[in-house]
Amino acid sequence: MKPGKKVLEKTQELLCENLTKVYSGSSGRRALDSVNLRIPSRGIFSLIGMNGAGKTTLVRILATQLESTSGRASINGIDVAKEAKVLRERIACVPQEARTVPWMTPKQTVLSYLMWRGIAYGDAKAKATEALARVGLGEQENTLTRRISGGMKRKVLVATVLASDADIIFLDEPTTGLDPISRKELWKFLVGLARDRFLILTTHYLEEAEQLATTIGVMHMGRMVGLGSLDELRSSVKHQYSVMVAAGSELPKVSGGSATRGDSGETQILTDEEEAYSVSRQLLEKGAKFSISKTSLDDIFFYLVNRSDQEAKVS
């Protein structure tokens, strides 16, 4: 959004209504299946899910890169299909698998991106230098990107959208391939970025969503199987303790909680504190491999995905 420009927001929310995407061609794959959501457009909205869950498809539709097959979506009341031109003034995106151009330096990369967005050379130059300094690449700004590390390359891409005047930012798996230290550095930076902008990011790392997200969307097989803050998702699971039992182990009887067997054979027992410890004792006596913890996002994810699979099998 340009400084000083007044925008009358109709709503301050991200809305999807029956959003569906079926890819054309022989596969006819249903990548999104009637996705419905309504969340406030602030902070960080993190989409989690396995490969092929539909995260990237959803992001690409919201970022006006891909047409949906049916349904509608809007951000702050701006329809992503019908008012794409208006929305594009407000958004910036770093796609999954985006790469820096090897024959350009970080400064040239950010500068040229800003100039495509219509920012004048002088302003763009100052913004590029500032953004690169903010992501810790001030010293490398004039080094060819082919000579910097993978983590630095990701930071260059994040710097491009940071330097832009966009207030809605899409980051598709921004930390994939980064070492743990670079990932945590980028997290800090993203939290800062989200103070005055709305970030929509996808990730495979549940810990990342747990640490960063204001709202989490759990996607599975093209459907939104869970949505809310971490606390809301936690409360959607009745029991607050999780015992994860390795495949092939003999399971004890569970009376108060629920046991769910995943595709790879491991079993998740969600139950209350008392039964969790009793089950653990029994497993210990049988020499079974297991872990016990308070319900984490991993457990919630496992529970929601398996519940969704079981519902699909029943229907």
Partner 1 sequence: MLVNSIYEMKNYPVVLLNTVLSPLSFLLLIYFVSGGKLIGDAIEGGFIMSMFNSGMSLQGDLAHLKNDFKLQDMVVSSPTAPAAYVTGMALAEIIYSVPALAVLTVLAAVYLHPGTIQALELLGVFLLMFLTSIAIGYTLSTFSSDIVQSFAFSRLISTLFSTLPPVYYPITLIPLPYRYVAYLSPTTYAAEISQHLLSPKSPSFLPLSTPEVALAWGVLFGTTAVLALIAVKKARWREV
Q: Parallel, antiparallel, or unpaired: how do β-strands 241-245 and 267-271 relate?
A: antiparallel
Lay out the site mask for partner 1 across 164-203 (x = CB under 8 A, - = otherwise): x-x---x---------------------------------
Q: Which is nearer to partner 1, 89 or 272 (CB)?
A: 89
Q: Which is nearer to partner 1, 116 or 149 (CB)?
A: 116
What count of Cα atoms within 13 Å lies in the side-chain half-sphere of residue 75?
A: 27
Q: Which of residues 274-303 bind partner 1 (CB under 8 A)?
A: none
Contact 257, 275 (CB under 8 A): yes
Three-class SS state of 181: helix
Nearest to 96 by CA among 119, 72, 66: 66
- In DSSP notation, 8-19 reads --S-SEEEEEEE
- At closest approach, how far in Å is the CB of 9 from partner 1? 18
Sign of CA dihedral 280, 284, 286, 290: positive
- Tokens found for residue 160: 């491009």
Q: Which is nearer to partner 1, 63 or 224 (CB)?
A: 63
Does position 232 interact with partner 1 (CB under 8 A)? The reply is no
Q: Which is nearer to partner 1, 104 or 191 (CB)?
A: 104
Q: How many residues bind partner 1 (CB under 8 A)?
A: 37
Q: Which is nearer to partner 1, 60 or 239 (CB)?
A: 60
Sign of CA dihedral 57, 58, 60, 65: positive
Token match 């970030």: residue? 199
Lay out the site mask for partner 1 across 91-130 (x = CB under 8 A, - = otherwise): xxxxxxxxxxx-xxx--x--xxx-xxxx------------
* Interface with partner 1 (CB under 8 A), residue from 46, 64, 74, 202: 64
Helices 150-163 + 106-116 axis angle, to 10: 30
Longest dimension (CA), the chain: 71
Lay out the site mask for partner 1 across 18-47 (x = CB under 8 A, - = otherwise): ------x-----------------------
* Interface with partner 1 (CB under 8 A), residue from 1, 38, 50, 67: 67
Token match 């519902």: residue? 311
Backbone angles phi, psi at 123, to 5 degrees: -65, -45
Q: Which is nearer to partner 1, 70 or 291 (CB)?
A: 70
- At closest approach, how far in Å is the CB of 66 from partner 1? 5
- At closest approach, how far in Å is the CB of 54 from partner 1? 15
Backbone angles phi, psi at 37, to 5 degrees: -160, 155
Q: Which is nearer to partner 1, 39 or 119 (CB)?
A: 119
Site residues, partner 1 (CB under 8 A):
24, 60, 63-67, 84, 88-89, 91-101, 103-105, 108, 111-113, 115-118, 144, 160, 164, 166, 170
